[in-house]
Structure 1
Amino acid sequence: MRARKIVTAVAAGATLMTGMAVTGQASADAADLAGAAGTFHRQTLTWHGCRTGPDDETGEKLDAAGAQCAEVTVPLDYRDPRGRTISVAISRIRATDPARRRGALLINPGGPGGSGVPQVLLAGYMPAVAARYDLIGMDPRFVGRNRQIRCRWTTDTPTRSAGPTRRTFDESVTLMKELADGCAQGDRDLLPHATTRNTARDMDVVREVLGEPKLSYLGYSYGTYLGAVYTQMFGARADRIVLDSAVGPDVYGPDLLSENGPAIAAALRNWASWAAARDTEYGLGTTEAEVLATVERVNQAATRRPLRVGPYRLGFQHVPYLLFVRLYDDRPEAYAGLAAEVRVLADAARGRTVTVPASLKETLDGLFTGSGSAEDRAGTPIICADKPATRDPQSYFRDIQAHRADEPLFGPMTRNVSPCSFWPTAPVEAPTTIGNDVPLLVVGATGDPVTPYPGQRAMHRALTGSRMVTLRGAYRHGAYLAAGDTCVDATVNRYLVDGVLPGGDTVCDRDGAPGGRR
């Protein structure tokens, strides 16, 4: 799941071991580097400017913020640490109060496939934290500035609706086979090593190279799963850990969106109520039901014949996805953007000539040409390497049919088959079983459409040493820094700066006032 929108909003996706006890797993993974620790743990970093060329706007911002960048060498395959190596890009902004510096805080934005290097730019939004920590960004292996896996896709994402019939489902099966084959023809030899467990191992090499006895961590969305895996493998080396918008540990994998339909529909209803109160501006309907009926007319029209939106033809495959990615954020400006875009789609559904809204152009370019950020292209190999998918497409069609009545709009998208069902390589390790007592903080919103609240609660239960801060009444993905909620921000800052976990699970109301404890 991608949390890039969170950070964008505030700053401008065979070692057969599963979840052992914390100390046992840490020892086992330390043993993976036996005989080669000196090569990786004692390497000397060469820090340099972050800008890679005249078109590197992110690097320019990093340099202007005083960041430094470097590359860390890690094994491609931790089972063979003397074999082939790769590098992972990192960034650093030093603590602004060196006398009170606590250590290093690594930040991951999610995905999988999200670039971590730019996340140090959050320093300006968390000054008290930035005073105490060196902020560290790390591009996970094969992501961002690192050597990327070539998957030969002409789209940014495999997320599509399977549509209304067996024929339209079969069309999506054909597409997923083509996408998987595109990865097989690219860098097949890299695919088995694009795992979350290997990224967690890379994180621990980074910790060691930085000279830190422990590592603090802030992870959003998929980054919460990565953080949980790190605590499972290297719990004795985990300092202060914050997991925002947690992925359900048992749901993570090729079917990670399969339970999202009800949460997305609830977020859509919340937006529809907002839009109905502004019918004079957007003309989508005067009630929630009328606005939802407008959305349904758009979807039905796209099912009959693709909608003409500028040079693009939007079909039933695309409409649910476009709604979903616009529901990450429940702030008024985000809702206004979605309302304006639905207005355009409603006009196109009536056969009117429309142009592509500027707010939608980048998404459509990526969807139809693959010219976007490539986070999903980088993330799909990670998901497929982490956990096997069923190889029977028929099981997905049966699941869609079983939920078509109660999830008519989003179920055919969230329950659809993925490229992992046709992946050319099998996972070389068993999935990590999350379950440990490392003290940490889980943060989330009750109406999160991307990582639904029941899954967040499941992560909290699996991490028995955790406390949870809930942003009640929010339909958004990402609560800390991104929601503008003083209650959530203060609770997280107090933990990161002072090490104080709440005495119990805490609820913050959407307006920023504490809602009490559970």
Structure 2
Amino acid sequence: MDSTGLDRYYNQRVAWKSCDHAELDAAGARCADVTVPMNYAEPRGRTITVAISRLKATDPGRRRGVMLSNPGGPGGAGLDVMLTIRKAMTPEVTARYDLIGLDPRGIGRSTPVDCGWPIGSMLRSGGVDRAAFDRNTAVQADLARRCADRHGSYLRHVSTRNTARDMDVVRGALGERRISYFGWSYGTYLGAVYTQMFPGRADRFVLDSAVDPKAWHTATLASMARPNEAAFDDWAAWTASRDAEYHLGGTARQVRAVVEDLITRAAADPIRIGRYRVDQHVVPMVPFVELDDPRKRAALAGDIRLLVDAANGKAVQPSPSLVGILQFIYEPTAQLHNSGQAAVLCGDAAAPHDPDWYWRQIQRDRRQNPIFSAIANNLNACAFWPAPAEPRTAVHNTVPALIVQSTGDTRTHYQGAASLHRAMPNSRLITLADVNVHAIFGNYPNPCVENTINTYFRDGTLPHTNITCQEH
């Protein structure tokens, strides 16, 4: 790599401007576009821009530096995420850091990948039988083709490793020796990759709801089946205890049977609800989306009730929560995850190409995980993607970090956080016990978690040992 060619990126002048974003502008944030090479191996070649925002430290006299961030996904636009995260920060923390939001390359305002897909997301269930699986396979091949036709060589350079390099250019352009960092979900993988690639540049890193770096990415998706089934059982018991309200069954087994039957019915005859025809590929996505937080239990019960009523021929008005899920899945919107998510996932690590391999995985896992096996093990556009430009990053370093994880996380399972902790032995692991929640700090209030994180950001003190926090 031509380090001389990179000097102009690290030494560029950052021109701050209005964010043209109502909430950021109201909060006093300023935004900028940072120029980075599309291909770091050819720094004198084509360039792209990465959009950042800054909420300045509230006490310049106590300022420590900058804190970058990522909201997860991958594919989540992060320009405004610090507006949410800082609500959980103490005044002592916001006094010390310029809080930096960033749209990762390929996402949001950062030279976005928009493949012109006819649907919103590639993530969906493979269906109940091989014919449905094969139809989904054809859809996924078409999605990958559209991306290759529209973006060509750029796709090979949309990756976590290059986003980590972009973060380091941002560090240099802001005149900082090191960065601190907060990331949710996929953002923990990005943060871990940064510590591996730039260990001397990492200051205080908090990785919330952690990805297992050894499993990224096909195995990460597959690992979601079991915790989702467990969370579903918890939800089914909760719903059964409220049968007078939802009429989905008086036992958890009855509630599960209703949902499994709903999937079968949607396979035979897609459910008309509003302007959508909800088929077997989408019905299981409703609980999948809403099982990431126990505060969504009522919304999920209500949405299943709506789908059952619609399947029975009743005219129903879809709820805001159900509309949001269906829009995400069916409607192409560049500002959501969509094709940008595919670019990052597929650009990070090669996926198996043989559809039969995925079908065997689904069938092998379906008995244990009847609702979610066909989501977690399903083939997606990555099966038809060009080979990644670089190998996946192996994370194994001694950078200190704070890893935060709930035991019932349905997106990034607890064992993945334990694996990341082993890969970063100088880290500490905060466990939030007996809660099915994904993304904790700034999202799911817990004084124990918040106090530990704020203490670390304030003065750099990690707990002496791993700790467990309780719900109450």
Q: Shift of residue 33 of structure 1?
A: 4.7
Q: For residue 73 of structure 2, give the secondary structure of its aligned residue in structure 1.
A: coil
Identity %: 44
Which deviates the most, 454-463 or 287-296? 287-296
Q: For residue 287 of structure 2, give the secondary structure of its aligned residue in structure 1.
A: helix
1:49 corresponds, among 18, 31, 41, to 18
**Which residue of the partner structure matches residue 249 of structure 2?**
285
Partner letter of residue 181 of structure 1? R
**What are the ranges of 5 or more consecutive residues in structure 2 without an aligned counterpart?**
none
**What are the ranges of 5 or more consecutive residues in structure 1 without an aligned counterpart?**
1-31, 52-58, 512-518
- How far, CA to CA, are the matches of 2:315 and 2:146 in structure 1? 35
1:212 corresponds, among 176, 198, 221, to 176
Q: How does 1:98-113 map to 2 (within 5 A)?
A: 98-113=60-75
1:158 corresponds, among 115, 122, 129, to 122
Q: Shift of residue 64 of structure 1?
A: 0.3
Q: Shift of residue 238 of structure 1?
A: 0.2
2:89 corresponds, among 126, 130, 147, to 126
Q: Shift of residue 363 of structure 1?
A: 2.3
- How far, CA to CA, are the matches of 1:113 and 1:234 in structure 2? 22
Q: Shift of residue 288 of structure 1?
A: 1.9
Q: Shift of residue 444 of structure 1?
A: 0.6
- How far, CA to CA, are the matches of 1:273 and 1:216 in structure 2? 42
Partner letter of residue 13 of structure 2? T
- How far, CA to CA, are the matches of 2:136 and 2:6 in structure 1? 46
- How far, CA to CA, are the matches of 1:478 and 1:487 in structure 2? 15
2:352 corresponds, among 390, 399, 402, to 390
> Does the 8 A contact of 1:108 with 1:119 survive in 2?
yes
Q: How does 1:255-404 map to 2 (within 5 A)?
A: 255-331=219-295, 334-371=296-333, 373-404=335-366
Q: For residue 392 of structure 2, give the secondary structure of its aligned residue in structure 1.
A: coil
Alignment of 1:82 with 2:44, yes or no, is yes
1:117 corresponds, among 45, 59, 79, to 79
Q: How does 1:52-71 map to 2 (within 5 A)?
A: 59-71=21-33
Alignment of 1:487 with 2:448, yes or no, is yes
> Does the 8 A contact of 2:37 with 2:44 survive in 1?
yes
> Does the 8 A contact of 1:362 with 1:372 survive in 2?
no
**Which residue of the partner structure matches residue 7 of structure 1?**
none
CA distances 1:84-143 after superposition (whole Å, capped 9, x unpaired): 111100000001121111111111101111111101213333233212111001111111
> Does the 8 A contact of 1:472 with 1:510 survive in 2?
yes
After TM superposition, the score normalised by the length of structure 1 is 0.88
Q: Shift of residue 408 of structure 1?
A: 1.4
- How far, CA to CA, are the matches of 1:368 and 1:70 in structure 2? 32
Q: For residue 80 of structure 2, give the secondary structure of its aligned residue in structure 1.
A: helix
> Does the 8 A contact of 1:161 with 1:317 survive in 2?
yes
Partner letter of residue 357 of structure 2? S
- How far, CA to CA, are the matches of 1:164 and 1:336 in structure 2? 27
Alignment of 1:91 with 2:53, yes or no, is yes
Partner letter of residue 89 of structure 2? M
**Which residue of the partner structure matches residue 8 of structure 1?**
none
**Which residue of the partner structure matches residue 13 of structure 1?**
none
> Does the 8 A contact of 2:36 with 2:48 survive in 1?
yes
- How far, CA to CA, are the matches of 1:362 and 1:320 in structure 2? 15
Alignment of 1:459 with 2:459, yes or no, is no
CA RMSD of aligned residues (A): 1.3
Partner letter of residue 161 of structure 1? S
> Does the 8 A contact of 1:254 with 1:420 survive in 2?
no
- How far, CA to CA, are the matches of 1:255 and 1:350 in structure 2? 37
Partner letter of residue 469 of structure 2? C
Partner letter of residue 330 of structure 1? P
CA distances 1:309-360 after superposition (whole Å, capped 9, x unpaired): 12211111001112101111112xx211111111101112322222222222
- How far, CA to CA, are the matches of 1:37 and 1:173 in structure 2? 41
CA distances 1:284-325 after superposition (whole Å, capped 9, x unpaired): 222222222222222222122111112211111001112101
2:369 corresponds, among 407, 424, 428, to 407
Which deviates the most, 502-511 or 359-368? 359-368
- How far, CA to CA, are the matches of 2:466 and 2:90 in structure 1? 25
> Does the 8 A contact of 2:289 with 2:325 survive in 1?
no
Partner letter of residue 64 of structure 1? A
Partner letter of residue 225 of structure 1? Y
Q: Aligned pair count?
A: 470
**Which residue of the partner structure matches residue 24 of structure 1?**
none
**Which residue of the partner structure matches residue 405 of structure 2?**
444
Q: Shift of residue 152 of structure 1?
A: 1.6
> Does the 8 A contact of 2:223 with 2:376 survive in 1?
yes
The 3 A distance-change label for structure 1 pair 444 and 33 is farther
Q: For residue 490 of structure 1, give the secondary structure of its aligned residue in structure 2.
A: helix
> Does the 8 A contact of 1:263 with 1:447 survive in 2?
yes
Q: Shift of residue 401 of structure 1?
A: 1.4
Q: Shift of residue 277 of structure 1?
A: 2.4
CA distances 1:353-394 after superposition (whole Å, capped 9, x unpaired): 222222222321232231474313211111111111111111
Give structure 1 regions of 4+ aligned residues with deviation exceeding 4 angstroms. Answer: none
Q: For residue 358 of structure 2, give the secondary structure of its aligned residue in structure 1.
A: helix
Q: For residue 361 of structure 2, give the secondary structure of its aligned residue in structure 1.
A: helix
2:8 corresponds, among 39, 45, 55, to 39
Alignment of 1:199 with 2:163, yes or no, is yes
> Does the 8 A contact of 2:115 with 2:339 survive in 1?
yes
Which deviates the most, 148-157 or 82-91? 148-157
1:229 corresponds, among 182, 185, 193, to 193
